[in-house]
Amino acid sequence: KQEVTQIPAALSVPEGENLVLNCSFTDSAIYNLQWFRQDPGKGLTSLLLIQSSQREQTSGRLNASLDKSSGRSTLYIAASQPGDSATYLCAYFGKYNFNKFYFGSGTKLNVKP
Amino acid sequence: SAVISQKPSRDICQRGTSLTIQCQVDSQVTMMFWYRQQPGQSLTLIATANQGSEATYESGFVIDKFPISRPNLTFSTLTVSNMSPEDSSIYLCSAKTGNRAPHEKLFFGSGTQLSVL
């Protein structure tokens, strides 16, 4: 059974702090992993995609890494801002079904001014 | 990338009525999906919308309750039929873009927040 776990479920930090969000998965046949941001009551915004052959991706203050052997991905946010407050979800699809995405339940981040 | 327009953004409906949600993608995509996100939960796949044929439903979801149309490669609708308060959720349209794995990426519409009284 494919499971995606995101810990912690909620996180509150002061503005300016660097932080790491975690995503763990049990599927050894993971192919691509994607990180999303979701604002309350809204859809998901794609942040970073890590392809199967890559170990990390960077976009601005965000850096995502993927370690398939240990079943972990991390999203690093540098110099956090109140505008970063949202729920962050990770999702992957496996190499046996490119149309089946498995989602974590998210980490709700609050960055305090 | 793809821009997905979804409407309505929110609605409050009476028990027993139906609501149709529309999803428009700004480019042709191979795969479109409909998800449900119940309060405080992660996403659950309802069905894959297939162009020109019947949608493929996940376990626990049936066509009579959630009929889906996909007349072309850029447009799809999801209807939530005979609604009850348990159907109150965020409904999300998504599409997968890219020529082939591993370059494929999932994009989402802005969601429809549905409340059933």
**Residues near B48 by Cβ (< 8 Å), separated by ≥ 6?**
A99, B31, B32, B33, B55, B56
From A98, which residue of chain B is nearest by alpha-carbon distance?
A: B101
Per the CB < 8 Å rule, is A89 touching B31? no
> How many CB pairs below 8 A link A and B?
59
pLDDT at residue B102, rounded to an integer: 62
Mean pLDDT on B40-61: 91
Which among B42, B103, B110 has the least Cβ separation from residue A103? B42
pLDDT at residue B104, rounded to an integer: 77
Chain B residues with CB-CB distance to A44 below 8 A: 43, 92, 94, 108
d(CA B75, CA B93): 10
pLDDT in tens, A25-75: 998 788 889 999 999 888 999 999 998 788 999 999 999 999 988 999 999
pLDDT at residue A81, rounded to an integer: 97
